Amino acid sequence: MVPSKDRKFGERLLSERSLKDLDPSFSEAIDIALDGRELSVENLERLLSARGPEVHVLSSAADLLREEQVGDVVTFVVNRNINFTNECMVQCGFCAFSRPSGHPEAYTLSIEEIARKAKEARGMGATEVCVQGAINPRLGPDYYISILEEIKRRAPGIHIHAFSPEEIDYFTRSSGQDVEEALKTLREAGLDSIPGTAAEILDDDVRRVIAPRKIGTARWIEIVKTAHKLGIPTTSTIMYGHVEELKHKARHMAIIREIQKETGGFTEFVLLPFVHRNTRIYRSGLARPGPTGVENVITHAAARLFLGRYIRNIQTSWPKLGPATAQIMLYAGANDLGGTLMEENISRAAGAQYGEGLSIEELVRLIRDAGMRPAQRTTTYGIIRIY
């Protein structure tokens, strides 16, 4: 356990690793975090710029804080992804999943098919279905309500984690309701929690490049904070490794932290590396080819140091990183491996090559091999079983 009241723990860590000559601004940020104090955005930028031996210190500090904040239990949820449509009018440059209206590969699942998938997942032990889709102009508010009602009818007891803030925004516009009314309508139909996707980078200059037709930063914040006010929990996310700079990542995490300090409604922070291969912004030369391995370690570790006091659960994405690399992130501050998924479409369409799902046995093996204790959790991080 980290002695959080010891202001010099970070200095001892540096000394033990024979790294006394590191830049003072970096070692100061490490000391602040390990002392349990709040990092500034400037501190975070400095951590995100770590290079060489600094990366070892940063990841070690994140590992120590992870142990202090959540112990040695690493969690996962047994769930199923249901992407109900890929027909989309938003057409983000980083997305290779969506198709325009009329495209021969466009699809929309029937309510019956969605409910069947949820019932099947429940029969296989899933406690959650994660339901998201593209912004399909052919679908009205009744479709979204019917999804929730029919899942609850066909798979009673399963947690419905559904509809990103982008989808909530579309529902408000198509239904004529304001955000609070729309969320109450969806909650009454069966919505339990909301994925905090559609965040990407919460900076409108970045969003104008990667997703010019998507909701802006202020609208994302409004929807998430309203959900929290109504008692609807959400996740929070970041997608990095494309066109953003260090300052954009730092500001993004600062926004997430300020929301959490105000509402306490985030269950986790999910790091989503940009998968580049089949995306327009990469093929057009606008984006870099995703983050490097070192950038993944740095970003996960910095998230733990900056956010861990307020958002205890830091999730790494095996569909995007691959199971082996995601396992390494457990030594860089992460304490959650996400879900079994059962089917995964969005990362795979962008070029990820790591399969559509992982079994419980595979997730348990990854966690145990990292020297930690595997545990199945609920969507909101209640522990169901420690293996």
Walk along the chain (387 residues) and give the pLDDT tens digit of each residue.
Answer: 444 445 456 656 555 554 566 899 999 999 999 999 999 999 999 999 999 999 999 999 999 999 999 999 999 999 999 999 999 999 888 887 778 888 888 999 999 999 999 999 999 999 999 999 999 999 999 999 999 999 999 999 999 999 999 999 999 999 999 999 999 999 999 999 999 999 999 999 999 999 999 999 999 999 999 999 999 999 999 999 999 999 999 999 999 999 999 999 999 999 999 998 878 899 899 999 999 999 999 999 999 999 999 999 999 999 999 999 999 999 999 999 999 998 655 554 544 455 578 999 999 999 999 999 999 999 999 999 999
Q: Which pTM does this prediction carry?
A: 0.93
Strand stretches in the chain, DSSP E = 73-77, 79-83, 128-132, 159-162, 234-240, 266-273, 314-316, 336-339, 373-377, 383-386
CA distance 235 to 249: 17
The boundaries of every CATH 3.20.20.70 domain in the chain are 73-386
Q: Domain 73-386 maps to which CATH number in 1.10.260.40, 3.30.70.1430, 3.20.20.70, 3.30.70.260? A: 3.20.20.70
CA distance 173 to 37: 42
CA distance 141 to 173: 9
Ramachandran class of 45: left when φ > 0, alpha when ψ lies in -120 to 50, beta otherwise? alpha
Helices 141-154 and 111-123 sit at what angle, rounded to 10 degrees? 30
Burial class (CB within 10 angstroms; exposed 0-12, middle 13-18, buried 19+) of 157: exposed
C-alpha pair distances (Å), 258 with each of 207, 239, 252, 254, 264: 20, 18, 10, 6, 10
Query: What one-character DSSP code corresponds to residue 80?
Result: E
The H or E element containing residue 51 is none
